[in-house]
Structure 1
C-alpha cells in the first residue's frame, strides 16, 4: 500500500487504538462539501476528464507552486498563460515532469492527498516516480475512459452527499441549470460570490456594477438600487440551490454607516476617484449589508479574509490570478468586525462563518469572538493550514474557548476533484487523533468522543450550512 493504515494517529498505543476506533466509526459517513471551487460544468456535461495532467497537475496550485518554488517553469507544467506566451500542451510531458519532481511534495498534505487518490481511486500500490510515470499515466488515462470514472460516477463513488461550487454575481449559472434539468440525483449547488461587484479595487469594478444592475433592472447610480440588485441575484442563486454567500476580502474590516454616508461612498467608488481607505470602508459596509440580507433570505455568510493575493506581479501578468502566489497576512478581527457585530452579532438566526490565514488569531481573537456572539461560527483551517498540523493547531487553540459546537465541521475548498475524499479523510483522522488525546488526558469521556467525532464529520456542517 502507498499509505500507512494508521497514518496521522497518535504514536502512544492506547491513544492510537482509540483514534482508530473513532475513525472507523465515521470513516464511511457521507461527504458534505459546502464550500469549494470545483467546475460545475464537469457534472453538467459529464464528459471524461481529458488526461492525468489535466486532472492532477494543471488545476492544482498546491502542486505546481511547490515545483515552481524549486525552479520548474510554470509554463512547462501546462499552466495556461494570459499574455499569449507559449505553454506546454503535451500532457505526457507535463506528467513526466510532475513525476520527476513529485518527491518535492514529501511531508506536505499534497503528498497525502495525491497518494490517497492514487491508491483509493486508481488502485496503485507503488509510489509515483520518474521511472513509474508512464505506467501511472497509461493506467489513469485508461481508467478515465471508462464510465466508472466520469464525473458523476466519481461523485457517487466518493460518497458525496452535497457539493457547493462558487460562482460570481454575474454568472448565469447555466451549468447548474443543466445539472438540475438533467435528472441526475447528485446534489451540486452554487454559492453567491459577489467580490467583483463589491470590491472597488477589482478590475472593471464600475463596469461590473453597471452590468450587474442592468441584469437585475436596477439603477447603477442609486445606492438602494444597487442593494436591490444584490437581493435579486441572491434570490436567483437561492433558486439554484445556494445556501451561502462567500466574501474574499483583503481584510476583515466591516462598517455600518448611516444611509446618506453609505450612498455617498457608493457614488464615490463608482466614480473611480477614491482612496484605498474608502475602498476598504466600502467593502466593510458591504459585509454588514450582506449580513442584514442574510437575516432576510437565510443565506449563510462566509468571510475569507487575509490573503495577499497575486503577490508576484510578473506571475500575475503572465499567468493571471490564482496561480499559487497568494500569501497569508496578519488579520485583525476584534476591531475590524465590531461594526457588523454591533449591528447583527447577537442575532441567533444569522450564521457568519469566519475563516483565517492568520493562525495567531485563533486563541487571541477568533475563539473568544465565536465563544460569545450567537451569530459567529469558526470555519475550519483553510488553504495553507488544511493539513494534519493545521487542524491540530486549530483544535488546540480554539476548542478551549469556543468549544466544538461553535465550529462548522470541514470544508475542502478545492479545485482538484479527486482530492475531495482525500482531504476529508485527513480531516477525519486529524480530529479523531485530537479526540483520542482528550480522552487519554481525562478531558473527554470516551462515549462523548464518539459523539463529537460524528458531529465534526457530519452534523455540524449540515446544520451550519442549512443543507
Structure 2
C-alpha cells in the first residue's frame, strides 16, 4: 500500500513540517495547463474499453520500459503505422505487463500507477503475474460503471482546467463537440504548429498546402504563410479556447532575421532544399515570429527544446511518432534564446515558458535568464525529470537565482488520464518537502511556506496560462 508519508524528508521534525504543508494543498483543484490526453474521451464520454487500453498501450512511459527489456511493441498492442496486425487481446497484454511490473520499481511510473490502482480503482493487491487476472477483472468491472467514464473521473479528480495539444492542421472536431455538449468541464486545446514550422517534419510541403486550404491564405508566399498562422491561432482560441502554443524543437535556437532573409529561407523550406542548418535556422526564426504573434493574441509561448525525438529510425518507420524514443541532448539557452529575448524578453505583456531536458542548464543558464527577463518563465521538470529526484534538483538549482515566482508551478504533460492526480500529488509532496527544509534551516518563514505551497500547487499555473 502507498506510504502516506511518501516523498517526505526522513528527519521527524522536517517530515512533520512537510506533512502539515501538504495537508494545506493536497485537495486543491488541479490545473493541468499542458498535456496530451485525447479530447475525444471527453467529447464522447464513452467507457474506457479495458485496463490494457487505459494503462499500457497509450503510455510511452510504460511501453518504453517494457521495450527496453526486449518486449516487442506490437505485443503490447501499440498500433503500427501501416495498420498491420498487433496483439489485440487486452488480457494477454495486461498479463505481459503484470509479469514485468517489477521493472518499474523505484521509478516515477510505479508511483503513478500504484496511485491510480489504489486511489482510483481500489486495488489492494500488488500487481504481478499471480494477481494479473484478478486485478484486470477488478478494473474492468469498475470501467463498466458510469462513475468511471471520462467526465465523471474528470470531476472526481478535481480538475479545474485541462489543456490538450493539437496540431495546427487539426480541425478541433472533438473540442467542438465538447463545447456543444453542455458539459461544464473546462477542456481546452493548445496550438502545436510543428508540422508547418519544421522543414524536416515528414510531408512538410503537403502540410503547407493543407495549411493554406484550412485558412484560405496563400502559403506559397511568406506573408500568406504568416497570415495563415495568425488565422489558425485565432481559430484555436475561438473554437478550442486555447491560451497557449507549444513548440517541440530539437534545439532552443531562436533567430530574428530581416524580412528578405526570412522570406528567402521560407522559400527553401517550402521547396525542400533546406540544409539541416537552414532548417534549424528557420525553426529558430519562427519561434520569434510566434512570440510577436503572442503579443497580439495573448497565447503563451511554450518551448520544449532539447529532445532528440524518434531516435530509433526503425521504430519511427514502423510505429510512427511518440513511441518513447525521445532522448535528451545538451542544450544551449544563453546564446540560443538571445535573439528572441532581445526582441520581446523585456516585455511584461508576453509569457515565454522554457522547458529543458538538460539539467546542467538549470543553474548556469535558465535560472539566471528567468531571473532577469520579464517575459521568461521556467517550465517544470519534464519527461525524464518529472520525478522526485528531478523535481528536487530543479528546486535546488533554480530557486536561489530565479525564486519561485519566475516558475509556473506544475503541469503533468501526460497522455495517461488516470496518472493526472498521481502526478500532481507527487509534485505537491516534493514541493512541500523542499519548503519544509527551507523552514527547518531558517531560510523561509512558516507562513510564507504555506503561501508558496499554495502558489506552486495552484495559483502560478493558473496565472501563467491565463486559465
Match of residue 88 from structure 2: 89
1:426 and 2:423 equivalent? no
SS in 1 for 2:301: strand
Residues 366-377 of structure 1: pairs in structure 2 closer than 5 A: 366-377=366-377
Match of residue 119 from structure 1: 118
1:391 and 2:391 equivalent? yes
Alpha carbon RMSD of aligned pairs, Å? Answer: 0.7
Task: Tell me if the contact between 1:265 and 1:278 (Cα under 8 Å) persists in the aligned partners.
Answer: yes
Normalised to the residue count of structure 1, the TM-score between the two structures is 0.99
Task: Please report how far the alpha carbon of residue 170 of structure 1 lies from its aligned counterpart in structure 2 after TM superposition.
Answer: 0.8
Residues 220-299 of structure 1: pairs in structure 2 closer than 5 A: 220-239=219-238, 240-299=240-299
Task: Please report how far the alpha carbon of residue 185 of structure 1 lies from its aligned counterpart in structure 2 after TM superposition.
Answer: 0.2
Residues 321-332 of structure 1: pairs in structure 2 closer than 5 A: 321-332=321-332
Match of residue 349 from structure 1: 349
Task: Please report how far the alpha carbon of residue 188 of structure 1 lies from its aligned counterpart in structure 2 after TM superposition.
Answer: 0.2
Q: Across the two proteins, how many residue pairs are aligned to each other?
A: 466
Structure 2 CA distance for aligned equivalents of residues 123 and 21 of structure 1: 26
Match of residue 45 from structure 1: 44
Structure 2 CA distance for aligned equivalents of residues 274 and 388 of structure 1: 41
Match of residue 97 from structure 2: 98
Normalised to the residue count of structure 2, the TM-score between the two structures is 0.99
Residues 112-261 of structure 1: pairs in structure 2 closer than 5 A: 112-239=111-238, 240-261=240-261
| Structure 1 runs of 4+ with >3 Å offset | 83-86
Task: Please report how far the alpha carbon of residue 83 of structure 1 lies from its aligned counterpart in structure 2 after TM superposition.
Answer: 4.1
Structure 1, gaps ≥5 residues long: none
Task: Please report how far the alpha carbon of residue 191 of structure 1 lies from its aligned counterpart in structure 2 after TM superposition.
Answer: 0.3
Task: Please report how far the alpha carbon of residue 210 of structure 1 lies from its aligned counterpart in structure 2 after TM superposition.
Answer: 1.4
Task: Tell me if the contact between 1:83 and 1:317 (Cα under 8 Å) persists in the aligned partners.
Answer: no
Task: Please report how far the alpha carbon of residue 86 of structure 1 lies from its aligned counterpart in structure 2 after TM superposition.
Answer: 3.3
1:58 and 2:60 equivalent? no
Match of residue 8 from structure 1: 7
Structure 2, gaps ≥5 residues long: none
Deviations 1:185-234 (A, max 9, x none): 00000000000000000011111111101211111221111101000100
Structure 2 CA distance for aligned equivalents of residues 404 and 378 of structure 1: 10
Task: Tell me if the contact between 2:123 and 2:138 (Cα under 8 Å) persists in the aligned partners.
Answer: no
Structure 1 CA distance for aligned equivalents of residues 263 and 243 of structure 2: 28
Task: Tell me if the contact between 2:208 and 2:219 (Cα under 8 Å) persists in the aligned partners.
Answer: yes
